[in-house]
Structure 1
Amino acid sequence: MISGLLEKTFADVGVEGFVHAREVGVENGPEAGLGADDPVVLASVFKIPVAVAFAEEVAAGRLDETGRTLVTSRYRVGGIGTAGCADDVEMSWRDAALFMMTMSDNAATDVVFHRVGQAAVDAVLANLGLGRTRVLGCCEDLFASVAADLGTDDVEQVLGNPSWDVVGKLSIVDPERTTSSTPREITTLLDAIWTDHAASPEACGKVRSIMAQQVWPHRLGSGFPSDVRISAKTGTLPSVRNEAGVVDYPDGRRYAVAVFTRSQSLDLRQPAVDAVIGRAGRLAVDHLRSPS
């Protein structure tokens, strides 16, 4: 069975894995997965519904995406993109959304999130009946929870060199206490984006376009041939490495895939875990594409 094969694939690299895959636009079609209804930490995968809320604000005329915003030191938490810049950055709203999704810029995410609001993000999930998916604020709130859990404001240093004594106390790696979902609900969200049910067709098209520009090929994309288009979003926290997206084959068939992992290692670089996300996604999709 596919679940047993997936379980062995994850065990071979020493991680616990959770997967769900479905063909896009095929109602009540076949599925493949492992732990598809188990709660998982989203990490930056939560930025997908934020992107939908942003795109709908633009499509509805409530936000001029060419308008300018300033990413200030308030959001400068370190890492990639504007989050790691030494100075304030002025950019358009659409570029902030692009940075949020393509490189997982946490500062740009928070600026976008505060502009669209928690209620708009919650509405995206509620409208699709995703009752097990919850977004508890933005990156700023997640880092604040780390500070509260540990009683220190030096979050960047703690997460830059984590230990299990520290990580074991953190709500951000516990799906019961942080932004979380299930693999099945995330593929439901992706299917809705790709079939124009998550928001207006204009908004869904914008999200699809942005997700197709993601710059990271080392996880989900590593498992598929170069002629398969990958539109996805990664997520990373200590012990957590994820990716969810849509793989688009040359024959026109598309598959929503969500892969979540929990590792016993806290190494910042874990190439074997990154690669197993691609292998697991490919196994699930191959199962759906097999004629039997």
Structure 2
Amino acid sequence: MRRRHLPLLLALGPAPAALAQPAIAEIDDLVRAFAALPGETAVLLRASGPRGSLQAAHRASAPIFVGSCLKTFILGAWLQEVEAGRLSLDEPLAVNDEHRSLISPVLGGLTGTAPARTVLEAMIAHSDNTATDIALHRIGAARVRALIAGMGLAGTRLPDSTRILFSTLAGAAPGTDLGWAAMGRIADGHPVGTPLAPINPHQTMVSTALDLCTWYERVLAGQVFGEASSLAEFKRISAMADAMPRIAPPDVIAYGKGGSIDWNDSQAIAVAGQMVAGPVRATFFWGANWSGPGDRMREVSDRLVASIRPALGRAASALA
């Protein structure tokens, strides 16, 4: 059995001990309960408000498969290109089998064109992989990787496209796109070679709690875009992510993105972003990777929510 690193929780800033210690104890219990899940887990919570600040960390620098959490970088890079005049939110993008991918609840069955804004919304709000690959094809994975590298996020790795990722996981030569027709066979459990694990040297969606929290802290503080309208659009679309209402406390806004995978006995779930509760800001990452059948996904998802939602709520009430 691998030795686990226990959570580290610190009270920072001017929070009075009588206020900070109960919050720390409760958040510590919540993080430890999530960290005790089988497999590899990671947590980072950094919160600040008028009464001080607190931090909770568990394997914050460890690489973990985060899946669609990385789509936030595609959105960020696109909005930077809009600012530079090289892309638009209104330009029509082709929707067809050239970039159709698995797990596409919005664009999967559609053919024609859609405005870039609609494509980006589908990518974030519903984690639509066809929308993701359309956007990645238009902007280029290299451009998104340049944004990631420019932010100093060395632990983050973006695939060329979700379809190339699925092709690689199914055993195709690295970098190969097997095409839309092959995706159905892969989904039915027919690999083309020796399947790879989601974390592999070729095509993956890996990051760290530290990388993703650093990204959200900087982008939402206005350090990534040059125009207020770009930040407003980033917030608007990021607030649409379907994971946010589930993990944010009631009547509190959160910006972020979740991700997951169920592949060949490898499972992963993660969520990252920032909660804004009045004067309190809390940047967060919760993630788990484990081995076994996919029927545990609901249980792990529920335990993630049961940990992160009260932790965010406790941080908000303690620091406001």
Secondary structure of the corresponding residue to residue 98 of structure 2: helix
1:275 to 254, 278, 302: 302
CA distance in 2, matches of 1:269, 1:91: 36
Contact persistence 2:43–2:60 (CA under 8 A): yes
CA distance in 1, matches of 2:207, 2:169: 20
Q: 1:172/1:24 Cα in 2 relative to 1: closer, same or farther (>3 Å)?
A: farther
Question: Which residue number corresponds to residue 41 of structure 2?
Answer: 17
Contact persistence 2:95–2:134 (CA under 8 A): yes
1:114 to 129, 137, 142: 137
Q: 1:244/1:82 Cα in 2 relative to 1: closer, same or farther (>3 Å)?
A: same
Question: Which residue number corresponds to residue 141 of structure 1?
Answer: 164
Equivalent pairs, count: 281
Secondary structure of the corresponding residue to residue 73 of structure 1: coil
CA distance in 1, matches of 2:215, 2:297: 28
CA distance in 2, matches of 1:171, 1:270: 17
Question: Which residue number corresponds to residue 119 of structure 2?
Answer: 96
> How far 1:20 sits from its partner (Å)?
1.0
Letter in 1 for 2:213: T
Which of the pair has the greater relative contact order for Cα pairs under 8 Å at 6+ separation? 1
Deviates most, 126-135 or 233-242: 126-135
> How far 1:187 sits from its partner (Å)?
0.4
Secondary structure of the corresponding residue to residue 261 of structure 1: strand
2:33 to 4, 8, 15: 8
Letter in 1 for 2:232: G
The yes-or-no answer on 1:190 pairing with 2:216 is yes
Matches within 5 A, 1:189-268: 189-200=215-226, 201-214=228-241, 216-217=242-243, 221-238=245-262, 239-249=267-277, 251-267=278-294
In structure 2, the gaps of 5 or more residues are: 1-5, 9-27
Letter in 2 for 1:62: R
CA distance in 2, matches of 1:246, 1:156: 36
| TM-score computed with the length of structure 2 as normaliser | 0.76
In structure 1, the gaps of 5 or more residues are: none
| TM-score computed with the length of structure 1 as normaliser | 0.82
1:180 to 206, 219, 240: 206
Contact persistence 2:271–2:286 (CA under 8 A): yes
Contact persistence 1:25–1:191 (CA under 8 A): no
Contact persistence 1:133–1:181 (CA under 8 A): yes
Secondary structure of the corresponding residue to residue 21 of structure 1: strand
Alpha-carbon displacement from aligned partner over 1:64-97 (angstroms, at most 9, x marks no partner): 2111111111222332334521x41310011111
Alpha-carbon displacement from aligned partner over 1:173-224 (angstroms, at most 9, x marks no partner): 448962311111100001111101123243332211101112x24xx64344
Q: 1:123/1:204 Cα in 2 relative to 1: closer, same or farther (>3 Å)?
A: farther
Q: 1:80/1:119 Cα in 2 relative to 1: closer, same or farther (>3 Å)?
A: closer
> How far 1:133 sits from its partner (Å)?
1.5
Q: 1:269/1:83 Cα in 2 relative to 1: closer, same or farther (>3 Å)?
A: farther
Q: 1:35/1:160 Cα in 2 relative to 1: closer, same or farther (>3 Å)?
A: farther
More helix, by proportion? 1
Tell me the C-alpha RMSD between the 2 structures.
3.2
